[in-house]
Amino acid sequence: MVVVVASVTDGVAQAAGRVDTVQVLAGNTNTTFKSTGSQAAATLTGTVGPGFTIVLMKGSIKVTSLATGTYTIVVNDMSSHHNFHLTGPGFNKATSVPNVGKTIWTVHLRVGTYTYVCDPHASFMRGSFIVQ
Ligand SMILES: [Cu+2]
């Protein structure tokens, strides 16, 4: 398992754990993580609620860009009024709105744009990231 704890400060990436490549592009807003196929899937964490917030993180960093590959996504649905719905090339899964709790997905990310929303509030509870 790859455990990544990374922070980016003034363009300097600091990582603890086994990281094959940490590539920092244009400061702290465009960070690409890459892991090799011989390792277990890296873990992303999606969180929706309890308020009107939805986010996908890798460690302490909001995901904006990822390398292709297999990832484990742990979704924490913390509200019976929201859900977490991820769509993109080859993937379309959602948690239910009334249910709360943890859901784990395995996703094979392909080149393209992935978007996550809360379906009842998709106009403003949303985010996206690119896979390249
Ligand atoms: Cu919502």
Which residues are in the CB-under-5-Å shell of ion ligand 1? Answer: 82, 118, 120-121, 125
Percent of the chain past pLDDT 90, that is, above it, reads: 69
CA of 128 to the centre of ligand 1 (A): 16
The amino acid at residue 92 is N
Spell out where the chain has E strands.
5-9, 12-16, 21-25, 30-34, 42-48, 54-58, 61-62, 65-66, 69-77, 85-88, 91-94, 101-109, 112-117, 126-131
Among 24-33, 42-51, 58-67, 70-79, the minimum mean pLDDT is found in 24-33
CA of 131 to the centre of ligand 1 (A): 25
55: confidence class by pLDDT, cuts 50, 70, 90: very high
CA of 65 to the centre of ligand 1 (A): 24
Average of pLDDT values for 98-111? Answer: 97
pLDDT at 41: 80
| Mean of per-residue pLDDT scores for the chain | 81
- The domains of the chain, with CATH numbers, are 5-131 (2.60.40.420)
